[in-house]
Amino acid sequence: MTMYDRGLNEECGVFGVWGVPDAATLTYYGLHALQHRGQEGCGIVAVGPDGDMKRIKGEGLVTEVFNEDRLASLPGNMAIGHVRYSTTGGGGLENVQPFLFRHHTGDFALAHNGNLVNYALLRQQLEDKGSLFQSSSDSEVLAHLIKKDSGEAHRPRIYAIENALNAVEGAFAFLIMTSNRIYACRDRHGLRPLSIGRLGDGYVVSSETCAFDVLGAEFVRDVEPGEVVTIDHHGLRSRKYSEKWSHDMCAMEYIYFSRPDSDIDGKNVHSFRKTSGKLLFQEAPADADIVVGVPDSSLSAAMGYSEASGLPYEMGLVKNKYIGRTFIQPSQAMREKGVRMKLAPVKSIVRGKRVVLVDDSIVRGTTSSRIVKMLRDAGASEVHVRIASPPIKMPCFYGVDISTYDELICARNTVEEVRRSLGADSLAFLSENALFQAAGRNSLCLACFNGNYPTKLYQNIEDANKDGKF
């Protein structure tokens, strides 16, 4: 695949438990809370009382892969887990994480959320030097780098991990588990979230804080960009593996991916979305009767728009909760089928009304145009579409499936052309400044909106060599 043909997928979620009995079962609950981040496969690796690592993984939802008997076969007080939507490497059981590696200096397991932009180049280098890969996942590269650098048994593994983290570039939250500790690592740009909580006498680590609430864990802190936190019987120990770091959290975590009850880098996701809705009204008011949000991720922004405008917030669309999110279904055909099955208009609410339809983003535009049509068919007299993010014009290289470049409707069309193709009476997008305001910070990754990628993309070996990546 060339760089612009690349599918841009939904990302993944990682969860870990250190020092708490029944760690695998707790991980199961943690992964269940992160299920929205990936629904194609999941797995758990636990360290048993004898120090041996055992793994169970499979394709499907957490509730489909695990049951009580399977969890009971993973005893111990340390575990890490992963929910997956295929990013680099595509689907298939061999790409379902965590990965488990046997090594003479000690076994280790690894789970990754994100995408490594220099994966292909690193893999080529490693294979040339004799590494054999089990999967086509980019995450395995880190494991090979760690193994390559773990030759001396007496040398603490943290040095091999730091060297490996310095060699990879891109977006990541990595959990690496050995027989007695978990290393929680975040990329130097802080593109993917990773938080640490306290549970009983131990710790939990999660892609999102919503999983802490499910377990009754108390939030301790976020892992910082460019940091490795070692979790073991010493408690939490921090090391910065890189001097060069920045806070470029993926804006789409706030806009779309994360659960509204999660706090990302200290900002609650629902509050972010609600503020973005208020700002959307200020930037693009509409003459209308009611505000309707597209369930679920746009409801908070719709509430904000309603509050700021004084227009009533109504449930004009209802979602069948038992169907996966359209955005993460792999094919266009499935996606279109999914939209029809998933959303229904409430005719008695929208009939004869001028509707402000608030959505979080426009990718291909197919979902939005179907919804506009659905509302018109249900009797809405006008439909004014308001999008709580800027137009998506560029692909993402950091583990998020938005679409292929050619399919991004806003990359190819003016706002007026998009409005016409959606069949809306008016259309407006939120500004980048409003996103900063809503997040209460002055740096975010906005690359899919404006093309300013926070990392190099390493599409050729010369780039990588210049940067000393090999």
Contact between residue 173 and residue 209 where contact means Cβ atoms under 8 Å apart: no
Paired residues of 231 in beta bridges: 182, 236
Give min distance, CB of 250 to ligand SF4, in A.
3
Catalytic site residues? 12
Q: Which is nearer to ligand SF4, 27 or 258 (CB)?
A: 258
Choices 86-94, 394-402, 405-413, 415-423; region in contact with ligand SF4 by CB under 6 A: 394-402
Considering only residues 144 through 163, tell me which ones interact with ligand SF4, judged by CB under 6 A: none
Between CA 410 and CA 418 the distance in angstroms is: 7
Q: Which is nearer to ligand SF4, 11 or 140 (CB)?
A: 11
Q: Which is nearer to ligand SF4, 171 or 422 (CB)?
A: 171
Q: Which is nearer to ligand SF4, 178 or 455 (CB)?
A: 455
Between CA 329 and CA 9 the distance in angstroms is: 9
Amino acid residing at 103: H
Q: Which is nearer to ligand SF4, 212 or 327 (CB)?
A: 327
Indicate whether 448 belongs to the interface with ligand SF4 (CB under 6 A). Answer: yes
Structure-block tokens of residue 54: 């055992």
Amino acid residing at 370: R
Find the helix or strand (DSSP H, E) in which 401 lies: none
Indicate whether 251 belongs to the interface with ligand SF4 (CB under 6 A). Answer: yes
Q: Which of 398, 403, 438, 455 binds ligand SF4 (CB under 6 A)?
A: 398
Q: Which distant-in-sequence residues (6+ apart) come within 8 Å of 240 by Cβ? A: 224, 226, 227
Indicate whether 164 belongs to the interface with ligand SF4 (CB under 6 A). Answer: no
The residue among 211, 175, 264 whose CA lies nearest residue 30 is 211
**If you search the block for the tokens 């190099």, which residue do you land on?**
456
Q: Which is nearer to ligand SF4, 388 or 400 (CB)?
A: 400
Considering only residues 2 through 61, tell me which ones interact with ligand SF4, judged by CB under 6 A: none
Q: Which of 17, 161, 164, 191 binds ligand SF4 (CB under 6 A)?
A: 191
Structure-block tokens of residue 178: 């050995």
Indicate whether 250 belongs to the interface with ligand SF4 (CB under 6 A). Answer: yes
Indicate whether 117 belongs to the interface with ligand SF4 (CB under 6 A). Answer: no
Q: What is the DSSP letter of 260?
A: T
Give min distance, CB of 87 to ligand SF4, in A.
11
Instruction: Kindly report the number of other CB atoms within 10 A of residue 412's CB atom.
Output: 12
Indicate whether 410 belongs to the interface with ligand SF4 (CB under 6 A). Answer: no
Structure-block tokens of residue 165: 């983290």
Give min distance, CB of 252 to ligand SF4, in A.
4
**If you search the block for the tokens 């939904």, which residue do you land on?**
10
Q: Which of 121, 252, 288, 434 binds ligand SF4 (CB under 6 A)?
A: 252
**If you search the block for the tokens 């997040």, which residue do you land on?**
439
Choices 124-132, 175-183, 245-253, 404-412; region in contact with ligand SF4 by CB under 6 A: 245-253
Strand ranges for 262-381 from DSSP E: 263-264, 267-268, 290-293, 317-319, 343-345, 354-359
Q: Which distant-in-sequence residues (6+ apart) come within 8 Å of 102 by Cβ? A: none
Indicate whether 400 belongs to the interface with ligand SF4 (CB under 6 A). Answer: yes
Give min distance, CB of 319 to ligand SF4, in A.
23
Structure-block tokens of residue 364: 């291909």
Choices 176-184, 231-239, 395-403, 421-429; region in contact with ligand SF4 by CB under 6 A: 395-403
Contact between residue 192 and residue 172 where contact means Cβ atoms under 8 Å apart: yes
Considering only residues 418 through 447, tell me which ones interact with ligand SF4, judged by CB under 6 A: 445-447
Q: Which is nearer to ligand SF4, 27 or 298 (CB)?
A: 298
Q: Where do contacts with ligand SF4 occur on this chain (CB under 6 A)?
A: 171, 191, 250-252, 396, 398, 400, 445-448
